[in-house]
Chain A
Amino acid sequence: MDYNMEDTQNSAPDALEASKLNSSAQRNDTQSVTKRLQSELMQLMLAPSPGISAFPDADGNLLSWTATITGPAETPYEGLILKLSFAFPNNYPYSPPTVLFKTPIYHPNVDFSGRICLDILKDKWSAVYNVQSVLLSLQSLLGEPNNASPLNAQAAELWDSNQEEFKRHVLARHKDLDDE
């Protein structure tokens, strides 16, 4: 459940290799992305992890997904259903997907429009990550925010100073997205 563990298992490739892969990836069209995403989906379906789930949107090209994280136990988010959107670039997996929280969330590393500050979604991205590992990282981020680089300073402060108040804020901000 810890993304660090993922990190050690699959060491990030160095920049040179990444760029090589990148250039070769240019030649591949969206088809290889689709294929990759399809196999990721298959993997998610065959070995589902508790508390996380993801599925492509109905637009049919598989490049945008919706994911669901259930708030982990013993965190202020316990039992909350959090929805996220994934938008995959055309050169995925050589570039990270754009991930946003759709459900309003009060969290040190998430701003009020749902943007997430997570290194593996930015400069630390690697092609070995996948939807599942990103979701697992986010799940653990809920319990262990990175207060060193907060997007929401108030939340970061509250997390350190007053957990009770923090939880109150979390619940106040949370709003279940209804199924339409």
Chain B
Amino acid sequence: MMSSIPLNAGRRRVFGSVFSPRRSKPGHHRQSSEQAWSAATAFLTIPDRGFALIFELRGTDGNEALKNWNRLTPPSKETGEALSYLAASAQQPQVFKQKDLFDWYGDEMRRHFLTNLRGGLCELLAGSEKEGLLRTIVDCLQLARRIYLAPIVHYMMPFIATSEQGRILTQLQRVFHTVVSYSLPWEQISTLLADELLRDALIILGIDTMLESSDSEDSSQDGMELDGFYSVSYKDWKHASPEARAVMMTGGEMPAVTMARDQLLAFLNGLQLVGLGGDKAQKVFASVMNLMMTEFVRAAYTNQWKRPSAVPQHLRCWVENIFSRLAVQVLAIIQGTSAGSELPAALDVSFGDVGKWQEIATARLGALRTSELFDIIISWPASSGAIEDLRQFTYHPAARAHVTQTFISLINQRLLHPGASTIQILQLYISIIRAFHLLDPKGVLLDRIARPIRRYLRERDDTVRVIVSGLLAEPSATAATESNPLHSTGENLVELATELTRAHQFSLNQTKGELDWNDMTWVPDPIDAAPDYRKSKSADVIDSLVSLFDSKETFVKELQTLLSDRLIQKRENFDQEISVLELLKVRFGDSALQACEVMLRDISDSRRVDAVVRHDQGFNKPPSRISSKRVPRPDIPELHTKILSRFFWPELQDQEFKVPAEILSIQEKYSAGFETLKQSRKLTWRNGLGQVTVELELSDRSFIDEVTTWQATVIYAFQEDGDSGEPVVKTVDELAESLEMAVPLVRSACLFWVSRRILAEIHRDRFRVLETLPTEDEHRAGGDAGSETGDENSVGDAADAAAAADAAAAAAVKETAEAAAMEKMNLHWQFIVGMLTNQGAMPLQRIVMMLKIVVPGGFPFSNEELRDFLAGMVTRGKLEIVSGGNYKLVH
């Protein structure tokens, strides 16, 4: 066909002048049609003008282009006749079947497009400039389409029966569409199309206003505060009244949205017109909408956790009104070409589809909440709305599995690592228990989530301690801080104490077992429950925590230790402890807590016994004040005791030292009195555990405070030969020797007194009584060892000294603890020897594992510590390392 063009052009004039189509006689029929054919094709042939021209003219109304392409000149009379002749014959299928003018023109269009336009368009597509590129291309193609179809529409249609006009136009259009869609690289076009759709959909669906309020001129703030009329923002919607909600999304759109919508629809119209719409475009559109859905859910609902949650309703509303609307509008334009264009714009979206979209959106919401779940739990209970959202999602077992899996991996990553403190973990665990109870009252999800947490908590050494101290903490945390230095950190699970009192009310009436035949609300365990899943009674936090440990013993033992710490303090009453104990008894039974019971009884009994003994021994002088001991006054110091039944109390860490003789004599007298009262019982004094009210008279001031016994003993030692007028000076070593007290402890006590400005350290470890407080002048002149230069400084010094005293006390405690640890290690050494003797050589890991199993109370050392210890034993020739890193005893 292409090669014949010049020939046709050449012959046109000749035939055109000689044979008019009108003069068609039967005999000349064939000839005249030949003539008409060449005249018509010559007229219709599309001039080969390059793409550049189209590109330049794409923005214009197109008339210029049509002129350029010779499409505006009406055909000459002869040509017109030829056209009408051919058009008429084309409608008679039996004649000239092989030479249908419209087929020819279709081919001509194809040829022209491929030779002239394709190269240019592909070049455009390959270029780096992507912004608006697709629109440009569509414009060009539209222009080309006009150029192609103009002569047909203008000059051919009049000759064709109205009924046939549509068919022929469609046919030509299809040719154009086919050539366009197959000759251009779809891959690049689809990316461009996706970008275009994305940009406008973001605006139309209201996502952009939520993403960046500053981005568009009418930001979400405007929308929220000014009109409150049209908005897709969840926040606005939530605060609006139900009536307002109804119109919020269906009401008038913001201008930007309308604009974007019109623009997009126009663009899509063009797209469809030039043949780039249809199935392929639908696919692109679907993927964009898919993205939009996720994006919207993310933008609208992230961090919107407050309850009551209206998110699901809002989301449904959005899908129905905004998402579906866009989908309907777009799909109406880019219908499939094959069959679709015949039908008048049929509604492609059924209500079933909308329902499906809503479901998908809910699932997206679930996915979002799942990914946020950890943070949701952290901000529990403020975030319970989010849990409600999640509830909508966790109907399906697969969804539930997804939630638990995601959450477990989040937990492992964010919580169960050494950086998190046990208190944090426990606190979060409590929140998890509550949140998941709301999410899934059956407790199956909780059961699954809790396993790794519980496993991890069991591995932590201080879990028990934290739980127990939480239980013992006073619900009003402020009260606890002053009376109880141990718990003054504020880092305490006070929640547990509240929970304990609260949960108590439920615990009694919830004891019905699994086999309650009258339970009419019984349902089987959910299908995704673990085999050993046990329905937990309720969101009973305490129960969950206490059941962390296989036996109650660990728990009770820790309880005893903490209780003993608290009970030996000087306090008016122990109501808090008593009530906690009573509550715990409900859970554990009396027998398990017997020791604690005895401890509490000891305390209350000793008050009575103390009164009796003191009365009998004639100690009672002033109305008794509750204190363990009272030290120097001119008269006999008061002495009160707490009598503990040694057997029921845990090991108390005591510091050995000699108490002043005066106290000793009272103690002896007291002991005698006690032994007459309670025969066959004996008192052993725990000197290190008491409190003393000390009253010191210095030459310029007096001092009264409550201190520990060892601090009192040290300051008492300074008193003894204090008559000489010279301030007493003593060294730590002297004191340690005379008091039979450990050196670090003496030093700690001295530093404590320095901090109280009773003593001063003149050299290292040498202390002197500060009989008169140095005045400022004295300091300036003397330049005392203390080197205080003013009140501020002296205050600072006192603070320093206090810190030093604390540090020294800590060091003393640490020393005793280390000694105890060493002793413990020796015990462990026995275990190791036994193990290696009987079980043969073992690697470190196995030794640690075995020790963890067999040593009562667990193995408190890390692998590294044990490795060091064993290495020490190797150098001492007690062990050897044989093949494979196994440790073996040396015989």
Contact = CB atoms under 8 A, between A and B. Distances in A.
Interface of A: 31, 38-39, 41-42, 44-46, 48, 53-58, 60, 62, 65-68, 83, 178-180
Q: Report, nearest first, the 4 A-B pairs whose CB atoms are least far apart.
A: A179-B840, A45-B830, A66-B838, A55-B838
B153 to A, nearest CB: 91
Contacts of B834: 41, 44-45, 48, 53-55
A55 B839 contact: yes
A127 to B, nearest CB: 21
Contacts of B873: none
A60 B853 contact: yes
Contacts of A179: 840-841, 886, 888
Nearest to B840: A179
A117 to B, nearest CB: 23
Given A55-B834, A62-B853, A46 B839 contact: no
B837 A53 contact: yes
A66 B838 CA distance: 6
A56 B856 CA distance: 13
A66 B839 contact: yes
B811 interface: no
A45 B831 contact: yes
B349 interface: no
B866 interface: no
B817 interface: no
B850 A54 contact: no
Contacts of B194: none
Contacts of A83: 838
A57 B830 contact: no
Contacts of B831: 41, 45, 55
Given A41-B831, A42-B856, A55-B839, 13 more contacts: A31-B551, A38-B856, A41-B834, A45-B834, A53-B834, A54-B838, A55-B834, A56-B850, A58-B849, A60-B853, A66-B838, A66-B839, A180-B840
Contacts of B853: 56, 60, 62
B838 A48 contact: no
B838 A67 contact: yes
Contacts of B854: 38, 41, 55-56, 62
B833 interface: yes
Interface in B690-704: none
B874 interface: no
A179 B551 CA distance: 35
A106 to B, nearest CB: 22
A46 B828 CA distance: 10
B835 interface: yes
A63 B163 CA distance: 99
Nearest to A65: B838
Nearest to B829: A45
A83 B839 CA distance: 10
Contacts of B840: 178-180
- Chain B interface SS verdict (over half): helix
Given A38-B856, A179-B888, A55 B830 contact: no
A32 to B, nearest CB: 11
Most chain A beta-carbon contacts within 10 A, residue among B833, B834, B849: B834
Interface string B806-844: 000000000000000000000100110111011111000
B601 interface: no
Nearest to A179: B840
Nearest to B882: A179
B846 interface: yes
A55 B837 contact: yes
A41 B853 CA distance: 12
Given A56-B853, A58-B850, A68-B838, A46 B830 contact: yes
Contacts of A48: 830, 833-834
Contacts of A53: 833-834, 837-838
A54 B853 CA distance: 15
A53 B835 CA distance: 9
Contacts of B833: 48, 53
A119 to B, nearest CB: 25
B830 A58 contact: no
A157 B551 CA distance: 54
Interface in B502-555: 551
A65 to B, nearest CB: 7
Contacts of B841: 179
A58 B839 contact: yes
A147 to B, nearest CB: 30
A58 B841 CA distance: 12
A67 B839 CA distance: 9
Nearest to A86: B838
Contacts of B838: 53-55, 65-68, 83
19 contacts: A38-B854, A38-B856, A41-B834, A44-B834, A45-B830, A45-B834, A53-B837, A55-B854, A56-B850, A56-B854, A57-B839, A58-B846, A60-B853, A62-B854, A66-B838, A66-B839, A83-B838, A179-B841, A179-B888
A161 to B, nearest CB: 34
B827 to A, nearest CB: 6
Nearest to A180: B840
A58 B850 CA distance: 7
A62 B856 CA distance: 12
B838 to A, nearest CB: 4
Contacts of B849: 58
A39 B849 CA distance: 19
A66 B842 CA distance: 14
A83 B352 CA distance: 78
A162 to B, nearest CB: 31
Contacts of A67: 838
A167 to B, nearest CB: 22
Q: Most A CB atoms within 10 A — which of B827, B838, B850, B854?
A: B838
Nearest to A67: B838
Pick the most buried of B827, B830, B888: most chain A CB atoms within 10 A of its CB: B830
Given A38-B856, A46-B827, A60-B853, A68 B551 contact: no
Nearest to A84: B838
A128 B632 CA distance: 54
Contacts of A41: 831, 834, 854
A178 B841 CA distance: 10
Contacts of A65: 838
Contacts of A42: 856
A70 B551 CA distance: 37
B840 to A, nearest CB: 3
Interface in B216-240: none
Nearest to A57: B839
Contacts of A55: 831, 834-835, 837-839, 854
Nearest to B827: A45
